[in-house]
Structure 1
Amino acid sequence: MPLDISIVGAAGFVGTNLALAALEAGHNVTLIDVSDRLGRLRLSGLLERAPHQFVNLAEPGARIVSAADVVIHLAALPQVDFSVYEPARVMTNNTAVMAAVLDSARALEVPVLFASSIEVYGGNDGALFAEASPMLPLSPYAASKIGCEEYLKSFRQSFGIEATTVRLTNLYGPWQAPDRIIPRITTQALSGIKSEVVTGRLRDFLAVEDATRALLGLVERGLWGDTFNLSVGVPTGLEEVADTIAELTASGPVARVDCPAKDGRGPSLVASPEHLEQQLGWQARVELSDGLGSTVSWYAENNFWWQPFQPQFSSDRNGPQFLLDHAFPFWVA
């Protein structure tokens, strides 16, 4: 049965892919975001296919006005690195938007699916994190997500709102900004720019198409009142990812750099998807090697979107200049 889905953060990487997948599945979608500042909605054709509400939900009194069967809340200033440079802005924005979404959902009497992050676990020496694992925020971004999760829990307890939290792992795929590892190395390779990768870190990479399938599955099934890791559960070294991209693009070796002493990240951050697999019957389908291949192909075929960001992916990571939220801030648009 088709649902009316409001996607908050629709102009983001996950939001754009989710909106496209939801329309393909026959659902009705309303796009909600501050603006289309990186051009994803326009260039993907979504602005022509779905209604939109451009509103800054972090502003006092801002609310979602469109009725829906469910709200999927993806909006955030999402970069760990950006939160290290702008901790107060990230905390203020992310918690304020959470408050607006929950107030709106309560007034509209609709459930909420909230996208948190496995960054809430911090990191360890290699064991898989489960949903009941202790939280250890190593960055202001992670702390903001924990605050949002707790605020959501309070609305479930105080007002009976139906809501579920999904902790996203490291996603990758089309429309991801080139300040993340996979699109950054890919766009550098396609542009003839030498790349580097941090050594000694293990992460879990999930194709965005697998993630959108899970998100839609949760709202279609109405699995409310729970918390899920949305992950693969397979630890992968960042060096392995970088080397695969180098092979796919024939761009030569990627330089290695040591982990910074403190940059808001832990050595290993890999979460178990077992709970989601048991409750939803979901499993990741895209092998990392295949997903990296299709992702590199997408960036090679869609350079019209990412080439305007060359000043950012050409910059080193010793300051905020490589971050798109720093270069294209929505709060001064």
Structure 2
Amino acid sequence: MDWNRTVLVTGGSGFIGSHLVCSLVQRHPDWRIINLDDLDYCCSPKSLESVQDRANYTFIRGDVCNSRLVNHIFNTENIDVIFHLAAKTHVESSFETPSSFQRVNIEGTRVVLAAAHQARHQPQRLIYVSTDEVYGASLDEVFDESSPVRPSNPYSATKAAAEYLVRSYWDKYKFPIIITRSNNIYGPRQFTEKVIPRFLTLLQMNKKCTIQGTLPKSRHFLFVDDVINAFLLVLEKGAVGEIYNVGTGCEIPIMQLARQLVKMVKNVPDSEVNDWLEFVPDRPRVDLRYPIKCEKLQYLGWRAQMPWAEGIRQTVNWYQDNPNFWSDTSEDRGPIRNELEKATNE
């Protein structure tokens, strides 16, 4: 079949990537969607069961840092669009093994950029999915796309470095890149190291929600469907060479989040909520909040559609309906519960 567009998604088996792949496959049956992923511990093949047999979907298991493989894909598949999501994202782990974050997040981005730029069939767009964490923390300043980049942990430092690589291909070659920086994303199928599925999984195991430190941390939470819509809008209407914040006004203190989830999952009265909370030591460095403006994206027509109350309800329901989704073990993924014990509020 002749496809109208061939789209490569790196990291398409991860939380955000799998939602993006499913959306692309289902919305665009005339597009070929290729997913390149090495199925790291935070990925599950089950995330893509709804599209695995679709004619316009292809899965390639492989390492984004494998230049021979990535070059082969670009030289044989006539890639039109790249969504580059493949990355290590867990902040606490980035302090423990920074070299692995440098390898995947920086070297992987370099490999993809080089292969895309050298391909005989030149891509129309490369969309690099970054994070609001590159701005660093703020108590009162709200960051826009021109704000200085001040990453404060190894994870966000590698994402910022990868952004500079991406921008260099625009500056030197006018290679058609776009960068997105989004708030914390939540929803079904997110791995249990992130704060919402972490709390939900602990509660399902009849364990307490562990609150790191005593400082008043909060996060802006964006439902996964809203960020996917932002990516697809940027693909069609975004200006090359530009950066787009993908933000939400939904800022939730971590303590309030824990209390809300306790009430939803355990159905206990207010007087018993604190019985399900436990304070634990903070991680090496923690940013209190990441407020961002996204007028540039809103000017293209984007608005976050999912209200917090409905988004968290859908998310809680999914984890209650799928309690064993992340409970399996394999050689590719160590015991999930061990990962959970090490997990953090990010």
Q: TM-score range by the shorter chain?
A: 0.7 to 0.9
Q: Distance in 2 between matches of 1:5 and 1:312?
A: 35
- How many angstroms does 1:2 deviate by? 5.8
- How many angstroms does 1:90 deviate by? 0.7
Number of the residue aligned with 1:301:
321
- How many angstroms does 1:162 deviate by? 0.1
- Rate the CA distance shift 1:273–1:34 in 2: closer, same or farther, 3 A: same
Contact 1:129 1:271 in 2 (8 A): yes
- How many angstroms does 1:97 deviate by? 0.6
- Aligned pair 1:133/2:133, yes or no? no
- Rate the CA distance shift 1:39–1:9 in 2: closer, same or farther, 3 A: closer
Q: Distance in 2 between matches of 1:204 and 1:151?
A: 27
Q: How many pairs were matched up?
A: 316
Unaligned runs of 5+ in 2: 329-334
- Aligned pair 1:228/2:241, yes or no? no
Q: Secondary structure at the match of 1:155?
A: helix
Q: Distance in 1 between matches of 2:127 and 2:63?
A: 19
The letter of the residue matching 2:295 is E
Q: Distance in 2 between matches of 1:218 and 1:93?
A: 24
Number of the residue aligned with 1:83:
94
Contact 2:203 2:265 in 1 (8 A): yes
- Aligned pair 1:59/2:59, yes or no? no
The letter of the residue matching 2:13 is A
Contact 1:123 1:268 in 2 (8 A): yes
Number of the residue aligned with 1:271:
292
Contact 2:143 2:291 in 1 (8 A): yes
2:53 to 38, 41, 48: 48
Number of the residue aligned with 2:312:
292
- How many angstroms does 1:257 deviate by? 2.8
Number of the residue aligned with 1:312:
338
Q: Distance in 2 between matches of 1:291 and 1:39?
A: 22
Number of the residue aligned with 1:217:
233
- Rate the CA distance shift 1:70–1:43 in 2: closer, same or farther, 3 A: closer
- Tell me the C-alpha RMSD between the 2 structures: 2.2
Number of the residue aligned with 1:326:
none
Residues 175-206 of structure 1, C-alpha deviations (whole Å, 9 max, x = no match): 11001100001111122222122450121100
Q: Distance in 2 between matches of 1:232 and 1:311?
A: 31
Q: Distance in 2 between matches of 1:314 and 1:97?
A: 26
Contact 2:248 2:304 in 1 (8 A): yes
2:279 to 254, 257, 269: 257
Unaligned runs of 5+ in 1: 316-320, 324-333
What TM-score, normalized to structure 2?
Answer: 0.85
Residues 252-293 of structure 1, C-alpha deviations (whole Å, 9 max, x = no match): 524253773x63431121211222111x21010111121111
- Rate the CA distance shift 1:311–1:36 in 2: closer, same or farther, 3 A: closer
Indicate the larger mover: 114-123 or 219-228.
219-228
1:35-184 mapped onto 2 (5 Å cutoff): 35=39, 40-45=44-49, 46-49=51-54, 50-64=57-71, 65=73, 66-108=77-119, 109-110=122-123, 111-184=125-198
Residues 98-153 of structure 1, C-alpha deviations (whole Å, 9 max, x = no match): 01110122123112000111111110213321111121111011110111111111
Q: Distance in 1 between matches of 2:114 and 2:90?
A: 25
- How many angstroms does 1:13 deviate by? 0.6
- Rate the CA distance shift 1:21–1:138 in 2: closer, same or farther, 3 A: same
Q: Distance in 2 between matches of 1:283 and 1:30?
A: 28
Contact 2:10 2:64 in 1 (8 A): no
- How many angstroms does 1:54 deviate by? 1.7
1:21 to 10, 20, 23: 23
- How many angstroms does 1:29 deviate by? 1.1
Q: Secondary structure at the match of 1:265?
A: coil
Q: Distance in 1 between matches of 2:133 and 2:86?
A: 16
Contact 2:180 2:243 in 1 (8 A): yes
Q: Secondary structure at the match of 2:25?
A: helix
1:203 to 203, 211, 219: 219
Contact 1:230 1:276 in 2 (8 A): yes
Q: Distance in 1 between matches of 2:339 and 2:255?
A: 18
Q: Secondary structure at the match of 2:324?
A: helix
Q: Secondary structure at the match of 2:147?
A: coil
* Identity fraction in percent: 24
